[in-house]
Homo-oligomer: A and B are copies of this chain.
Amino acid sequence: MAYSHAMPSPTSTERAQRQAEVVQALSACVPQHALLWQPEDTTPYECDGLTAYRQRPLVVCLPETEGEVQAVLKTCHRLGVPVVARGAGTGLSGGAMPHAMGVTLSLAKFNRILDLDPVARTARVQCGVRNLAISEAAAPYNLYYAPDPSSQIACTIGGNVAENSGGVHCLKYGLTVHNVLRVRGYTMEGEPITFGAEALDAPGYDLLAAVIGSEGMLAVALEVTVKLVPKPQLARCIMASFDDVRKAGDAVAAVIAAGIIPAGLEMMDKPMTAAVEDFVKAGYDLTAEAILLCESDGTPEEVEEEIARMSEVLRGSGATAISVSTSEEERMRFWSGRKNAFPASGRISPDYMCMDSTIPRKRLADILLAIQEMEKKYQLRCCNVFHAGDGNLHPLILFDANDPDQLHRCELFGADILETSVAMGGTVTGEHGVGVEKLNSMCAQFTVEENAQMFALKEAFDPQGLLNPGKVIPTLNRCAEYGKMLVRNGKMSHANLPRF
């Protein structure tokens, strides 16, 4: 299990003593009902959306006010207790997986929309507000919050900030980092800290982008100011079929190369369409080797012109069938399949592991063919759903977690996808974060010096390494154990990496 590399397990006596000490200290910070430590109470927190890895936390704390959060952080800092912040627990890389000797800080109670300014087109919300709730609150003003992770009915803006979440419309409208103006929270020492501003710029180093996607390792975010954008007047979606995955991959590159930025450009392979069609009846072409969903939004004139241009490019790339949504109802039906790809995979397999690497768009077909070879090698099935326009892959590896050998093969399969992506010029994560899932693969992507640089930045905020330790950045030891020490420019230095 990925997690065990980082920390020696304490004995059960050590754990019980520490638990009593932490519970007593935190009782001075929050009401008794806000503290959970019995196994039956902490078990629901043992994992996030990456269910393959589980760990009960020492204590779960559910503060309700900023003062309580601050007191909890100060206390944990004083006692040297690790803190893992948690939103809705929908993350897919184990970013909110608990620490065996740490406090899981659930921010579920911070669920209020504090301010919505339709003229400035901003909303100031607490970290526990759900992604979709922001768009629902903005709807009366014909505005919405653009990033739309598939989990948007449940996931919170705090988690979106931690993971720099994306979604099907991020190709055109940007990721979380492009749609957030300000993040306010507390450091591990319990000191207030603000990143960004509601103005164009803020004084001091501009660390807003660094904290977005930092996976809870720099600070605990309590309040987020997001940008709202006007709802497009019209959106239409093309569904295109291809009899060959290479043609479908090349069609994606051709659309972008033609200078078109679709509102969404998604790809699904045959096993994926079969799984979702059986579940939601989206009307997908089940004979196609791959289908593309290609959306245009804007004014009716813009949409008409863009749909015509995209259709032409898709036909020129060898699409065997093209249909264009003629109503909002039909468009939502096209998307229903894509949005339900994960639960559809859950229906046909006891478990699935969703990977999240990126590659240059022109390598889409290459990676699909490589994954087909890996299916044979690891003897596991894989359904593929890609944010193809972004080059962001979500292969869903199907396995049975109750079979240790299958879990092991699934881990190897996943690592193979990630490292093949890096070899093709891509990265190990697109929008789900590194968490615990991709720690080993980070060794294949970053050099010892690069990882040391990332630790140096973390140390500038959290010198004791108490915020979400053991995640995101692999230690030198870990990379050595994994057998990957990335050497670039023929050089391998023995930087003195910390051992969080």
Residues of A within 8 A of B (CB): 119, 164, 170-171, 174-175, 177-178, 191, 193, 199-201, 203-210, 212-214, 257, 259, 390-391, 427-429, 445-446, 449-450, 453-454, 456-457, 459-461
Q: Contacts of A193 on B, CB cut-off 8 Å?
A: 453
Inter-chain CA distance A214–B210, complex, in Å, is 14
Pair B119/A259 contact, Cβ less than 8 Å: yes
**Can you sample 13 A-B contacts with CB below 8 Å?**
A170-B200, A171-B200, A175-B200, A177-B206, A193-B453, A199-B391, A201-B213, A203-B429, A203-B446, A204-B450, A206-B209, A208-B209, A453-B461
CB distance from A193 to the nearest CB of B (A): 8
Known contacts A456-B460, A460-B460, A461-B456: A445-B203 contact under CB 8 Å: yes
Inter-chain CA distance A206–B213, complex, in Å, is 8
Inter-chain CA distance A176–B91, complex, in Å, is 33
Pair A428/B460 contact, Cβ less than 8 Å: no
Task: Kindly report how many copies of this chain are found in the complex they form together.
Answer: 2
Inter-chain CA distance A212–B174, complex, in Å, is 20
CB distance from A38 to the nearest CB of B (A): 37
**Chain B minimum-CB-distance residue to A429:** B203
Inter-chain CA distance A308–B257, complex, in Å, is 39
Pair B203/A174 contact, Cβ less than 8 Å: no
CB distance from A102 to the nearest CB of B (A): 22
CB distance from A454 to the nearest CB of B (A): 6
Q: Contacts of A119 on B, CB cut-off 8 Å?
A: 257, 259
Inter-chain CA distance A174–B201, complex, in Å, is 9
Inter-chain CA distance A201–B446, complex, in Å, is 16
Pair B210/A427 contact, Cβ less than 8 Å: no
Pair A457/B175 contact, Cβ less than 8 Å: no
Pair B200/A205 contact, Cβ less than 8 Å: no
Q: Contacts of A427 on B, CB cut-off 8 Å?
A: 203
